[in-house]
């Protein structure tokens, strides 16, 4: 699976959009971009994933650049409960025993 | 949606004792289960992968005789930390993957915090 690079930490004012970047310059053609988050002392929570088109769900939007070498997770109106570590993971579609491998992620602090 | 539960959510034990952590997939059959460990301010580290009815595959550096994994059914996997020591204190997280369709994704349990005194 391709490696990802994320900033170690970010701050965001409550109510504003949080834009979390991720670089994945070695991504392969069949690899998806997945985003998970982990709130303190909880298990990881799935947020969104995409291949090449932008995706949106009730939690967030995922913007993938045309060359697919980077992406941005957008939380449109961040709340204090969005304070968490956000992980960007690049991998091929789930198959067999291959697990999700977590990097260091970005620690997002939403500030009142 | 797919739900994975863990029990207990936290446990405190004395050094030298064994601790069992259960992981259950509540509404789907988990053909594969993963166990992760997370130390404070660090990321999740994969410990082992298990398929129902088969022996677990352990990551390099994880002692299979110390961390016993049993995946006896499609909805239950257990991790037993044998002869626990303070350095085994950590946050243990299980994850389950189903057979097909939407359950082919990987779903995570809420984690178990183990403290060894």
pLDDT (mean) for B88-108: 83
Q: What percent of chain B is modeled with pLDDT above 70?
A: 95
Digit-coded pLDDT (tens) for B7-28? 999 999 999 999 999 999 998 8
- Of B76, B40, B78, whose CA–CA distance to A40 is shortest? B40
pLDDT at B83 over 90: yes
Digit-coded pLDDT (tens) for A12-51? 999 999 999 999 999 998 899 999 999 999 999 999 999 9
User: Which of A42, A100, A103 lies closest to B106 in CB terms?
Assistant: A100
CA B41 to chain centre: 19
Digit-coded pLDDT (tens) for A42-74? 999 999 999 998 999 999 999 999 999 999 999
Q: Is A44 on the interface with B (CB under 8 A)?
A: yes
The Cα of A78 is separated from the nearest Cα of chain B by a number of Å equal to: 23
pLDDT (mean) for A96-109: 90
Distance CA B111, CA B4 (A): 10
Q: Which residues of A touch B32 (CB under 8 A)?
A: 96-97
Helix or strand run (H / E) with residue B25: strand B19-25
Q: Which residues of A touch B113 (CB under 8 A)?
A: 41
Half-sphere exposure of A70 (CA within 13 A, CB side): 9
User: Six-digit token pair at A70?
Assistant: 């980077």
Determine, for residues B113 and A41 on separate chains, whether the beta-carbon distance falls below 8 Å.
yes
Q: Is A103 on the interface with B (CB under 8 A)?
A: yes
Q: Is A50 on the interface with B (CB under 8 A)?
A: no
Q: What is the pLDDT of residue A33?
A: 94
Sequence-distant (≥ 6) Cβ neighbours of residue B12 within 8 angstroms = B115, B116, B117
* Rg of chain B taking only CA atoms, in angstroms: 13
């Amino acid at each position: 699976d391709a490696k990802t690079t994320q900033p170690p930490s970010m701050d965001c004012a409550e109510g504003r959009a949080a834009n979390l970047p991720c670089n994945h310059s070695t991504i392969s053609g069949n690899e998806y971009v997945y985003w998970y988050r982990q709130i303190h002392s909880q298990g990881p929570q799935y947020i969104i994933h995409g291949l090449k088109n932008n995706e949106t769900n009730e939690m967030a939007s995922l913007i993938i650049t045309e060359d697919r070498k980077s992406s941005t997770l957008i939380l449109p109106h961040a709340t204090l409960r969005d304070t968490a570590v956000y992980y960007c993971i690049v991998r091929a579609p789930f198959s067999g025993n291959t697990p999700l491998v977590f990097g260091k992620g970005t620690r997002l602090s939403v500030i009142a | 949606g797919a739900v994975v539960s863990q029990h207990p959510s936290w446990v405190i034990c004395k050094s030298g004792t064994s601790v069992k952590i259960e992981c259950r997939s509540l509404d789907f059959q988990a053909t594969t289960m993963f166990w992760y460990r997370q130390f404070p301010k660090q990321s999740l580290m994969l410990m082992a992968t298990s398929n129902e009815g088969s022996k677990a595959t352990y990551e390099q550096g994880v002692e299979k005789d110390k961390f016993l994994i049993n995946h006896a059914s499609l909805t239950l996997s257990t991790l037993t930390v044998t002869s626990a020591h303070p350095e085994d204190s950590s946050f243990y997280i299980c994850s389950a993957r189903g057979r097909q369709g939407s359950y082919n994704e990987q779903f995570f349990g809420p984690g178990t915090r183990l403290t060894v005194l």
